[in-house]
Structure 1
């Protein structure tokens, strides 16, 4: 009988402790108090110098687009490098929804450090492309949103990122 009373008291105390912890526990620490984040970076195409050669462009339905470029803060030649942009895109219709069609931005600034994954399965080679952000790591963990790629001139792309946490908080 005494053991049954002790058992009931222990269960009651444990239940009260769980309820009190749920009601009065502190909010988790968040590095970024706002759920939205807007960033802007630039990609400068490498300048090829040397004798001009005649090149033949591959057919539009052939091959894959593989690139590795640096991300910079501004459009100027002297802008600080803040990361890199890498991608592997298969522009063939049958691979339009392939998991390979991803652009990875790796960013290292004083405020942010991590990577962002951008789904690139709907490229139409326009001067302005709006693509989906499907995740990230580090400061960008679980981010979702939009990445707007705009061609400023023949050698510079601007990337505007409109990000939010996946759960909206």
Structure 2
């Protein structure tokens, strides 16, 4: 009888554990999609990307470091609605090609969103579509995670317009 009571107690315990909705259960977060354009202007009267470190006496651009304060807009034209700024750095980090390591924050200030989204990733310029990790955020984007795809929409000399499609969960 004592054995049967122990077995029944264990069965009830296992049932309760299996059906419990504890704090370790992963909850589905809020999912948000954003699309915007970032204007990286290197060669203009008022550039938004400036070289802060030159390559050490080389014939290539390996080691070049840029700091950015790029305009972020709703559409591909620089005269479209301003959503914020892209602030951070990128550097040429490849001996064999033009790969750029980006680390920057999209500082958004719109009626819909106020806060930052932090991006980090390798921009492999030979690819049509590239991908960056979303590593965090502030304000409306606190505890955000996700990724972004990047496509070059326009390229005139060293000046580029980049399309960002951002997939966020928080």
TM range (shorter): 0.5 to 0.7
Deviations for 1:32-58, whole angstroms, at most 9, x for unmatched residues? xx7100001112243736xxxxxxx97
The structure that has the greater radius of gyration is: 1
Deviations for 1:58-111, whole angstroms, at most 9, x for unmatched residues? 723122132221101111343111100022134336xxxxxx952211001111
- Spell out structure 1 runs of 4+ moving beyond 6 A: none
Counterpart CA distance in 2 for 1:101 and 1:70 is: 16
Q: CA RMSD in A?
A: 2.7
Number of residue pairs the alignment of both structures matches: 120
Correspondence 1:163 to 2:165: no
- The runs of 5 or more residues in structure 1 that have no matched partner are 1-33, 50-56, 94-99
Identify the match of residue 48 of structure 1 among 36, 44, 48. Answer: 44
Q: CA deviation at 1:128?
A: 2.1
Higher strand proportion: 2
- The answer for the alignment partner of 2:109 in structure 1 is 108
**Kindly tell me: are residues 91 and 35 of structure 1, through their superposed partners in 2, closer, same or farther at Cα, counting changes over 3 Å?**
same
Matches within 5 A, 1:79-158: 79-92=80-93, 101-120=102-121, 122-125=122-125, 126-154=127-155, 155-158=160-163
TM-score scaled by structure 2? 0.61
Counterpart CA distance in 2 for 1:62 and 1:45 is: 19
Identify the match of residue 37 of structure 1 among 32, 38, 60. Answer: 32
- The runs of 5 or more residues in structure 2 that have no matched partner are 1-28, 46-54, 95-100
CA contact (8 A) 2:102 2:123 kept: no
